[in-house]
Amino acid sequence: MIEPVSIGLIGCGVISPAYLKAASTFNVLNFAACADIDAEASARCSENFDIPSMTVNELLARDDIEVILNLTIPSAHANVNLAALQSGKHAYCEKPFALNTVEGKRVIETAHERALRVGCAPDTFLGGGHQTVRNALDEGTVGIPIAGTAFMMNHGHESWHPNPAFYYQEGGGPLFDMGPYYLTALVNALGPVRRVAALTARAFDTRTIGSEPRRGEQIDVEVDTHTAGTLEFMNGAIVTVVMSFDVWLHSNRFIEIHGTNASLSSPDPNGFGGSVRVSRKDRTWDELPLTHGYLENMRSIGLADMCVGIRTGRSHRCSGELAYHVLEIMEAFGHSSATGEHIELTTTPDRPDPLPTGLAIGELD
């Protein structure tokens, strides 16, 4: 039996309950402390999940904590990761990995210098839906991948989120908020991206909050809210990606991959399960049986996988290198739009290892 890894949570906001609830599935995770710059948020987390609450500095100073789970806002991700690494702790953070590749590279280099691990969400590609997609591709179901599409289009988060301003600041927008789910799923399926060509725009300069407690408040839009790009993968596949907070409704599928033998329709990459469909030469959609489990909300499976890697020495699937590659893809959208050029990427991470089939819930190997 693997010895549990002691986890310190920094950032006790909206996403933290999903992590803490799912974490009970994995015996390798032991939450030892929580902290937030908002002491009330940390106190609520402590009360709801029976985790000792303390300040961020107190948590970072504890020698018994091995991993920091960083669930802060995007603008703090890199700095909190660096603080964790500099205190001798591994770091795992929510997406995006950083606001830009300069920040992200500093985190990667610091982890390497200190022989520590860094990981990053999303981990939804480890769910049964996208592991089934990966299995189908690896078995040659579609033949040679040629093309694909990925669509995430809605009208933003201000209608439901209690504090949505950061979605329209640097590190937000549809690409940095939702793009990591789609791009990580695509890299898991097809491998790394070679180059990017894109255009970006924004439809509104302000947004009106529709949720309590800030209903009616105007927030400034500081980032582009509609992005459309074409990715050329190292394997030759060409995939069209559209991420938007400017669309009221659409009828496109989440992700489709088209090959020499068949087309594959993938489920929502912001979830763990969902339907996987294939269309062969008969041109009808047939549902594929799911090859893997973990179909419910399993946020923390990526953290658990990293902790198993810490104990066993194997690589972890939601790696900093994968997240940095996705960050480089997203940053390339803006650079391409501004310059009118294709942007060649500098990183070529390996595809994450697929999960084995037949795992019991709570197992990762």
pLDDT tens, 184-242?
999 999 999 999 999 999 999 999 999 999 999 999 999 999 999 999 999 999 999 99
CB 97, CB 234: distance < 8 Å: no
- pLDDT of the residue at 283: 87
Question: What is the rounded distance in angstroms from the CA atom of residue 296 to the CA atom of residue 180?
Answer: 19
Q: Which two tokens stand for residue 256?
A: 């489709």
Q: Are 273 and 361 in contact (CB under 8 A)?
A: no
Map tokens 């991420």 to a residue.
243
The H-or-E segment that residue 29 falls in is strand 29-35
Question: Rounded to an integer, what distance in angstroms lies between the CA atom of residue 128 and that of residue 124?
Answer: 9
pLDDT (0 to 100) of residue 82: 98
Alpha-carbon separation of residue 326 from 19, 142, 165, 348, 355 (angstroms): 22, 24, 23, 10, 20
d(CA 331, CA 344): 11
Low-confidence residues in the chain, pLDDT < 50: none
- For the chain, the domains span 5-124+298-322, 128-287
Specify the CATH number for 128-287; select among 1.10.3720.10, 3.30.360.10, 3.40.50.2300, 3.50.50.60.
Answer: 3.30.360.10
- Equal CATH topology for 5-124+298-322 and 128-287: no
- Rounded distance, CA 157 to CA 165, Å? 9
For residues 8 and 59, is the Cβ–Cβ distance under 8 A?
A: yes
Determine the Cα–Cα distance for residues 220 and 108; give it in Å rounded to an integer.
32
pLDDT of residue 1: 81
**Which residues sit opposite 279 in a β-bridge?**
263, 285
State the Cα–Cα distance between residues 62 and 175, nearest whole angstrom: 36
Q: What is the dihedral of CA 175, 178, 181, 185, to 10 degrees?
A: -50
Alpha-carbon distance values, 327 to 42, 103, 139, 274, 332 (Å):
29, 10, 29, 26, 9
Q: What contacts 24, CB < 8 A, 6 or more positions away?
A: none
Q: What is the DSSP string of 279-331?
A: E-TT--EEEPPP-----S--TTHHHHHHHHHHHH----SSBHHHHHHHHHHHH
**Single pTM value for the model:** 0.96
- Separation between Cα atoms, residue 183 and residue 320, nearest integer Å: 14
As a CATH number, domain 5-124+298-322 is 3.40.50.720
pLDDT value of residue 282: 87
CB 10 within 8 A of CB 35: yes
- Measure Cα distances from 167 to 75, 141, 171, 178, 283 in Å: 11, 38, 7, 10, 40
Question: What residue type is 143 in one-letter code?
Answer: G
Q: Distance of CA 203 to CAs 173, 198, 243, Å?
A: 12, 17, 13
